[in-house]
Amino acid sequence: MTTPVTAEVDLAGRVVELTRSLAGAGAEAEVVAAHTAEALTRFANSAIHQNVADATTTVSLRLHLDGRTASGSTTVTDAEGLRSLVERTVAAARLSPPDPAWPGLTPPTPLPADAGYDEATAAAGPRERAIRVRDFVQAAEGLETAGFCRTAYASGAFANTAGHTVHGRSAEAAMDGIARLAGADGVARRAAGRLAELDGAALGARAAAKARAATSPVELPPGRYEVVLEPTAVADLLDNLASFGFNGKAYAQHQSFAELGAQQFDRGITITDEPLGATLPFDMEGTPRATLLLVEDGVTRAVSHDRTSAAEAGSASTGHASAASRSWGPIAANLHLAAGPIANAVPEPSAGPTASSARALVAGMRRGLLITDLWYTRVLDQKSLVITGLTRNGVWLVENGEVTAAVSNMRFTQSYPQALGPGAVLGVGAEAVAVPDRWSGVRYTAPALHLASWNLTGNASG
Amino acid sequence: MDHFDEAGAAVQAALDAGARYADARVMLRRTETMSARDGEVEDLSSDESAGLGVRALVGSSWGFYAVPDLSDAAARAAGRRAAEIAAASALVPGPAIDLVPAGAGTASWASPCEIDPLSVPLSTKGDLLVAATAAARDAGADLAEGIYQIWDTRKWFVSSDGHRIDQHIRECGAGITASAYGDGEIQRRSWPSHRGQYGTRGWELVDELALTDNAARMADEARALLTAPLCPSGETTLILGGEQLALQIHESVGHAIELDRILGWEAAFAGTSWLDLDRLGSLRYGSELMNITIDPTIPGALGSFGYDDEGSPAAPRDAVRNGIWVGVLAGRDSAAMAGLDYAGSVRSDGWARLPMVRMTNVGLEPGPHTLDEIIAATDDGVLMDINRSWSIDDRRLNFQFGCEIGWEIKNGKRGRMLRNPTYTGIGPKFWQSMDMLSSETVAWGTPNCGKGQPGQVGHTGHPAAPARFTNVRVGVRG
A30 vs A163: CA distance, rounded Å: 10
pLDDT at A3: 67
Residue among B147, B268, B425 whose CB faces A146 most closely = B268
- Please determine, for residue A422, whether its predicted confidence score (pLDDT) is greater than 60: yes
Maximum distance among all Cα pairs of chain B, rounded to whole angstroms: 73
**Bridging pattern class, strands A433-436 and A443-446:** antiparallel
Q: What is the arithmetic mean of pLDDT over A16-26?
A: 95
The helix/strand/coil state of A17 is: helix
CB within 8 Å of chain B, chain A residues 149-208: 150, 176-178, 180, 185, 187
On chain A, the residues whose CB falls within 8 A of the CB of B48 are: 72-76, 81, 84-85
User: pLDDT tens string for chain B (478 positions)?
Assistant: 899 999 999 999 999 999 999 999 999 999 999 999 999 999 999 999 999 999 999 999 999 999 999 999 999 999 999 999 999 999 999 999 999 998 879 999 999 999 999 999 999 999 999 999 999 999 999 999 999 999 999 999 999 999 999 999 999 999 999 999 998 899 999 999 998 999 999 999 999 999 999 999 999 999 999 999 999 999 999 999 999 999 999 999 999 999 999 999 999 999 999 999 999 999 999 999 999 999 999 999 999 999 999 999 999 999 999 999 999 999 999 999 999 999 999 999 999 999 999 999 999 999 999 999 999 999 999 999 999 999 999 999 999 999 999 999 999 999 999 999 999 999 999 999 999 999 999 999 999 999 999 999 999 999 999 999 999 999 987 7
Assess contact for A187 and A193: CB atoms under 8 A.
no
Q: Helices (DSSP H) in A64-144: which residue ranges?
A: 79-95, 119-122, 126-139
Q: What angle do CA A281, A285, A290 make, to 5 degrees?
A: 35
Partner-chain contact B478 A386, CB within 8 Å: yes
Assess contact for B84 and B107: CB atoms under 8 A.
no
Assess contact for B348 and B283: CB atoms under 8 A.
no
Q: Helices (DSSP H) in B90-210: which residue ranges?
A: 122-138, 204-209
Partner-chain contact B92 A100, CB within 8 Å: no
> What value of ipTM does the predicted structure carry?
0.95
On chain A, the residues whose CB falls within 8 A of the CB of B478 are: 380, 386-388, 413-415, 455, 457
Residue among B186, B265, B455 whose CB faces A440 most closely = B455
Partner-chain contact A101 B40, CB within 8 Å: yes
pLDDT at A462: 55
Which residues, in sequence order, are bridge partners of residue B85? none
Residue among B49, B63, B352 whose CB faces A51 most closely = B63
Residues in chain A: 462
**Bridging pattern class, strands A223-229 and A367-381:** parallel
* CA B125 to chain centroid: 24
On chain A, the residues whose CB falls within 8 A of the CB of B45 are: 70-73, 323
A129 vs A40: CA distance, rounded Å: 8
The helix/strand/coil state of A441 is: coil
pLDDT at B398: 95
The string of pLDDT tens digits covering residues A340-360 is 986 655 555 566 899 999 999
pLDDT at A344: 57
* CA A125 to chain centroid: 24
Residue whose C-alpha is closest to residue B325's, from B297, B291, B363, B359: B291
Residue among A42, A96, A460 whose CB faces B453 most closely = A42
pLDDT at A289: 94
User: What dihedral angle (degrees, nearest 10) is formed by the CA atoms of B82, B88, B92, B95?
Assistant: 40
DSSP string spanning B399-428? EEEEEEEEEEEETTEEEEEEBS-EEEEEHH
Global confidence as pTM: 0.96
Assess contact for B247 and B359: CB atoms under 8 A.
no
Residue whose C-alpha is closest to residue B188's, from B386, B465, B474: B386
- Please determine, for residue A1, whether its predicted confidence score (pLDDT) is greater than 70: no
CB within 8 Å of chain B, chain A residues 278-307: none
Residue among A51, A254, A326 whose CB faces B62 most closely = A51
Residue whose C-alpha is closest to residue B262's, from B208, B193, B318, B335: B335
pLDDT at A440: 72
Residue whose C-alpha is closest to residue B34's, from B155, B117, B142, B101: B117
Partner-chain contact A388 B84, CB within 8 Å: no
The string of pLDDT tens digits covering residues A51-69 is 999 999 999 999 999 999 9
Assess contact for A143 and A179: CB atoms under 8 A.
yes
Assess contact for B478 and A380: CB atoms under 8 A.
yes
pLDDT at B455: 93
Partner-chain contact A38 B454, CB within 8 Å: yes
B457 vs A210: CA distance, rounded Å: 31
Nearest-neighbour CA in chain A from B469: distance (Å):
16
Partner-chain contact A125 B88, CB within 8 Å: yes
pLDDT at A348: 59
Residue whose C-alpha is closest to residue B149's, from A269, A327, A200, A51: A327
Confidence bin at A147 (pLDDT 50/70/90)? very high
- Please determine, for residue A308, whether its predicted confidence score (pLDDT) is greater than 80: yes
Q: Compute the count of residue pairs across chains A and B with CB atoms less than 8 Å apart.
A: 275
B314 vs B169: CA distance, rounded Å: 14
User: With pLDDT > 70 as the criterion, what percentage of chain A qualifies?
Assistant: 97
Assess contact for B438 and A374: CB atoms under 8 A.
no
pLDDT at A206: 96
H, E, C per residue of B48-85: EEEEEEEEEEECCEEEEEEECCCCHHHHHHHHHHHHHH
B342 vs B329: CA distance, rounded Å: 9
The helix/strand/coil state of B375 is: helix
Partner-chain contact B389 A377, CB within 8 Å: no
DSSP 8-state symbol, B119: G
**Bridging pattern class, strands B356-357 and B346-347:** antiparallel
B361 vs B473: CA distance, rounded Å: 28
**CA-CA-CA-CA torsion sign (B305, B308, B313, B314):** negative
Residue to test with chain A: of B251, B453, B472, B477, most A Cβ within 10 A: B453
Per-chain mean pLDDT for chain A: 94
